[in-house]
Structure 1
């Protein structure tokens, strides 16, 4: 984790902020070009259907997701012994959103850096929080997608993706000894770096604290509720644009896009998520002049809204970190 902290120096942070702005700009240009190619006038006419009440509802549902995920981060942090308040957890979590579209999961590393800098929580203690946070999201999205596949015509590759996501997540959660065995095999295979492998074993053991039955059920419930809120926001957008898709199909399209975007390993899932959602909407009979603005709106209301909130919180977070020196 030392390199992650050094990567957040002032010059590097300025370059990251420039990269975020450039990424947002390129995304907007790409969606505008796609809209023009697919029939610009019809798309812009649909965008005008967005009322102020609907926009506020979309942003509110996204805030529900961010709030529940921040609460889960706080539960995990306290479970591993980090002395952090709920307000601090929410602040650190939202600040990390500013770096969502940067390579290398820098936003998540930033949250750990803030806990180390402001609360004295060592990385060896808090690294399991990052891993559990990712596994919880992966398991919840995969489970939602899997349930919706029961009601939607089966797509073998999507079914395999959902099964893989949920299986890996729950196996890692319920059988930490499998990860311990993998670490042991790695050490025996290399015969080197005993301190590194010792720290890995310690991290796996601390992760077991985050996957006790009560914590596992609570974190899964928070993740499911949070992602369902954003799925429902997508459903509202489709309804506003006149796409008559049932709720379960809207959930299926949204979660499929999230899962495929995560599998691409591209920051924020940009590109893979949108392409998957557009393809699945087209497969459900939604015309492109509806699918493109619906996809663009939900991504702005979820991903880019989070990035905007993170950018607003990031300067204050850095000031707090400097004062904690």
Structure 2
């Protein structure tokens, strides 16, 4: 699995470069270069700090989930596994972060079927948090209400269906007929872990943590607009960032590449931001969030592999 990462990462980087090239042509290279030059680059430190706070909050959520399903590993090792998973931020819907389950299998022989549901529930909490962050803005600015509400209802409906054991066992019986008993025990283990993690007493606090974690990046986006003295409120910045992130995630494109950038730039232009500045804002925030996360993940994965070779 780790051996194939380089190809996936390289592919995503190439897609990222292609998106950057398209945005550069759209904004006019010379104007875009000038806009990037005029950004208040001293703000990049607090912006990256806010992104780091996002990862720390998500790590606390990761630990919370691990403890709730009875997986206890040393904190430094858990942190290294978690940050290594950030490498997969450029996979569709971030579901490639299941890499964390693979690393737990290597380090502590934890069944993948037991820990993988954490990644699924992490994405679930992400969607709920982003919908909550985007919902107020979608009504206030009268944009994207239907999409935001639909996603919210689909998520709640999915949680309701998954929580019904009778439905699960009916589906499992049908699966058995197709694949036999070989994988059904693993499916059962994964389902039990999922059930534990979507209980209200666990899901609600994890969503609250997630709202805080994503809001850090919304503030980071606001600071990028502030770096251009753009007249945008924190409320509008929160809506644009969260809505664009949702759009990218549901596209199931690697890291939401293309649709996230397009949505973000488009919404900024709709709010009378000049095209070159809108593109510059989008490029800066994506490097400070998505690509910064990937860089941290690659460093952590390198450290993990070095330690693994020594043991």
Give the TM-score normalised by structure 2.
Answer: 0.89
CA distance in 2, matches of 1:239, 1:105: 29
- Structure with the bigger RCO (C-alpha within 8 Å, sep 6+) is 2
Equivalent in 293, 302, 308 of residue 295 of structure 2: 308
- RMSD between superposed Cα atoms in Å: 2.5
Structure 2 counterpart of 1:29, from 5, 21, 24: 21
Q: Partners in 2 of 1:288 and 1:180 — Cα distance?
A: 53
Map 1:261-276; keep pairs closer than 5 Å. 261-276=248-263
Contact 1:151 1:248 in 2 (8 A): no
User: Is 1:68 aligned with 2:60?
Assistant: no
Q: Give per-residue Cα distances to partners, 1:11-49, cap 9 Å, x unaligned.
A: x3443343354344334433333332xxx4443333223
SS of the residue corresponding to residue 194 of structure 2 reads helix
**8 Å contact 2:92–2:254 — kept in the other structure?**
yes
CA distance in 1, matches of 2:106, 2:176: 34
Write the distance in 2 (CA, Å) between the matches of 1:89 and 1:161.
36
Residue among 82, 95, 99 paired with 2:84: 95
Q: 1:315 to 1:180 in 2, by over 3 A?
A: farther
Is 2:218 the partner of 1:235?
A: no
Instruction: Please give the alpha-carbon distance, in whole angstroms, between the structure 2 residues aligned to 1:48 and 1:221.
Output: 37
Deviations 1:56-93 (A, max 9, x none): 01100100111111111121122222222332222212
Match of 1:320 among 291, 307, 311: 307
Equivalent of residue 47 in structure 2, options 51, 58, 72: 58
Matched residue, 1:3: none
Whole-Å Cα distance in 2 between the matches of residues 76 and 103 of structure 1?
22
Count of equivalent residues: 310
User: Residue 168 in 1 paired to residue 162 in 2?
Assistant: no
Tell me if the contact between 2:161 and 2:167 (Cα under 8 Å) persists in the aligned partners. Answer: no
* CA–CA separation in structure 2 for the residues paired with 1:200 and 1:72: 24
How far off is 1:238 after superposition?
1.3
Q: Gaps (5+ residues) in structure 2? A: none
Instruction: State how 1:132-171 maps to structure 2 within 5 Å.
Output: 132-153=121-142, 155=143, 158-171=144-157
| CA deviation vs aligned residue, 1:90-148 (integer Å, no higher than 9, x gap) | 22122122233246957412111111100111112112111111101011111111122
- 1:88-237 alignment, distance < 5 Å: 88-102=77-91, 107-153=96-142, 155=143, 158-173=144-159, 176-178=162-164, 181-182=167-168, 184-185=170-171, 187-188=173-174, 191-195=177-181, 196-237=183-224
